[in-house]
């Protein structure tokens, strides 16, 4: 296998996907702020409740903690990619609606530069927006009604360069230097029986800025058969630079107003998290994370909507039946499961949204290669079941991930 060709192909794919990497979603909750924040982690993490702050990038990449890259072997490189499919069912009182979407998840590389320095580069969605709202409003002083359609789309992409530095055989630190970019668009169309044509208001913000998150990992041995690890991550609050444009078109399709400004009210919150894991006999792995996002200092202009601090708990289990080289295929499959529970950063009409669910999956080795197919399933609920004034979203996700683990250099020896 030609490593140079693989890297060149991956870089070209990253460049081509950069302009069209947002997830396609349909959720009314994505209309606030920068939209739905895409959960981090790749194929392995998604089957384990999204946990992984303390996990090493030994057999698969783990972007939840940039310090994890130091576990990549000096002779190996990683190439990973994935796709998501989600089925959502929305319930609001007696109203129900279903949506299905499939989209690109990520593309990433991981490789070692020196004994103490390891890199990863990749492209992944950071947030996504997609919603359609239909409503009616009476025209003041008349018996006519206006039909209003509001469509939102867009989101942020993340192109990252990860660096991990091994300061001690058991201790590493890391930094993901990311460039966030994308656009958020909202189009409001108004029609009525009082006037012909439609009135349109287009509101678009183009966002971008650099973003950094930091991590540390410590690995240790409790006994001959039990290994442990601890991890921590942190990122600063970041303001996104913005070009904001509003265009208003009247019922006669004449442009009434078009204004470009550079004022931005979009932020990435300050975040910290920590995790711990235990591995027994190289077969059973237990891991758990806690993450806190400080949204409360970020105001939102929408009536009845408030951004508050969010907390996320995630736990996962991975089981490998046999570590022997001659084990059967089923004994070489990695079986995973987990769950998560998050208090969302959105508080609507005094009710804080929740997001919780369970996950399961498998890591399927490809025979006669160092490749894996990871399949993850999740089922969850987003909303607040204790309130009848909140839209509840029940969702089911399938995540497919391909991991190629191969040699940087493979010199043939002749005798």
The CB density around residue 123, as the number of other CB atoms within 10 Å, is 21
The CB density around residue 299, as the number of other CB atoms within 10 Å, is 10
Residues contacting 41, CB < 8 A, separation 6+: 50, 51, 52, 62, 63, 64
Instruction: Using DSSP, state whether 331 is helix, strand or coil.
Output: helix
Residue 291 has pLDDT above 90, yes or no: yes
For residue range 58-87, what is the model confidence (pLDDT) as tens digits?
A: 888 999 999 999 998 877 788 898 888 889
For residue range 113-127, what is the model confidence (pLDDT) as tens digits?
A: 999 999 999 998 898
pLDDT at 182: 93
* Nearest to 116, CA basis, from 177, 75, 162, 169: 169
pLDDT at 25: 64
Q: Residue 47 to residues 3, 87, 131, 336, 357: CA-CA distances in angstroms? A: 29, 17, 27, 6, 11
pLDDT at 300: 60
- Phi and psi dihedrals of 239, rounded to 5? -90, 135
Beta carbons of 10 and 86 less than 8 angstroms apart: no
For residue range 193-225, what is the model confidence (pLDDT) as tens digits?
A: 666 778 888 888 899 999 999 999 999 999 999
For residue range 321-368, what is the model confidence (pLDDT) as tens digits?
A: 998 877 889 999 999 999 999 998 888 878 888 999 999 999 999 887
359 versus 38: which is more confidently predicted? 359
Instruction: Using DSSP, state whether 329 is helix, strand or coil.
Output: helix
Q: What is the distance between the alpha carbons of residues 261 and 246, in angstroms, rounded to a whole number?
A: 9
Beta carbons of 177 and 149 less than 8 angstroms apart: no
User: Could you give the percent of the chain with pLDDT greater than 70?
Assistant: 83
- Helix (H), strand (E) at residue 93: none
pLDDT at 3: 47
Beta carbons of 294 and 310 less than 8 angstroms apart: no
pLDDT at 39: 78
The mean pLDDT value for 226-232 works out to 97
Q: How much is the pTM?
A: 0.86
Structure token pair of residue 13: 């794919």
pLDDT classification of 412: cutoffs 50, 70, 90: very low
The mean pLDDT value for 365-382 works out to 89
Q: Residue 214 to residues 38, 51, 114, 342: CA-CA distances in angstroms? A: 18, 17, 20, 22
Q: Residue 182, by phi and psi: left (phi above 0), alpha (psi -120 to 50) or beta?
A: left
Considering only CA atoms, give the Rg of the chain. Answer: 24
């Amino acid at each position: 296998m030609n490593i140079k060709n693989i890297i060149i192909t991956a870089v070209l794919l990253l460049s081509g996907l950069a302009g069209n990497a947002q997830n396609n979603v349909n959720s009314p909750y994505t209309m606030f702020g920068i939209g739905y924040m895409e959960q981090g982690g790749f194929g392995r993490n998604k089957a384990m409740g999204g946990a992984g702050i303390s996990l090493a990038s030994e057999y698969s990449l783990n972007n939840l903690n940039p310090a994890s890259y130091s576990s990549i072997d000096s002779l190996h490189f990683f190439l990973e990619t994935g796709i998501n499919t989600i089925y959502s069912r929305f319930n609001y009182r007696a109203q129900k609606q279903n949506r299905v979407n499939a989209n690109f998840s990520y593309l990433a590389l991981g490789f070692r530069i020196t004994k103490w320095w390891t890199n990863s580069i990749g492209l992944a969605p950071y947030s996504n927006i997609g919603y359609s709202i239909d409503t009616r409003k009476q025209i003041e002083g008349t018996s006519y009604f206006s039909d209003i359609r509001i469509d939102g789309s867009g989101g942020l992409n993340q192109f990252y360069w990860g660096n991990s530095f091994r300061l001690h055989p058991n201790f590493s630190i890391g930094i993901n230097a990311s460039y966030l970019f994308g656009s958020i668009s909202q189009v409001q169309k108004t029609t009525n029986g009082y006037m012909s044509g439609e009135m349109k208001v287009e509101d678009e913000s183009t966002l971008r800025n650099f973003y950094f998150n930091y991590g540390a990992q410590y690995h240790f041995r409790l006994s001959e058969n039990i290994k442990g690890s601890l991890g921590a991550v942190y990122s600063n609050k970041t303001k996104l630079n913005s070009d904001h444009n509003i265009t208003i078109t009247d019922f006669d399709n004449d442009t009434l107003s078009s204004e470009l400004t550079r004022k931005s009210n979009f932020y990435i919150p300050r975040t910290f998290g920590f995790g711990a894991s235990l591995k027994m006999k190289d077969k059973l792995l237990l891991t758990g994370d806690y993450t806190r996002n400080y949204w409360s200092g970020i105001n939102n202009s929408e009536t009845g909507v408030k951004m508050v601090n969010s907390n996320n708990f995630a736990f996962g289990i991975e089981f490998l039946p046999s570590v022997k080289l001659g084990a059967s295929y089923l004994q070489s499959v990695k079986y995973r499961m987990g769950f998560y529970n998050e208090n969302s950063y959105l508080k609507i009409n005094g009710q804080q949204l929740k997001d919780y669910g369970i996950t399961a999956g498998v890591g399927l080795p490809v025979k006669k290669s160092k490749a894996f197919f990871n399949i993850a399933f999740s089922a969850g609920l987003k909303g607040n079941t204790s309130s009848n004034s909140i839209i509840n979203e029940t969702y089911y996700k399938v995540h497919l991930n391909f991991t190629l683990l191969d040699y940087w250099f493979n010199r043939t020896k002749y005798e």
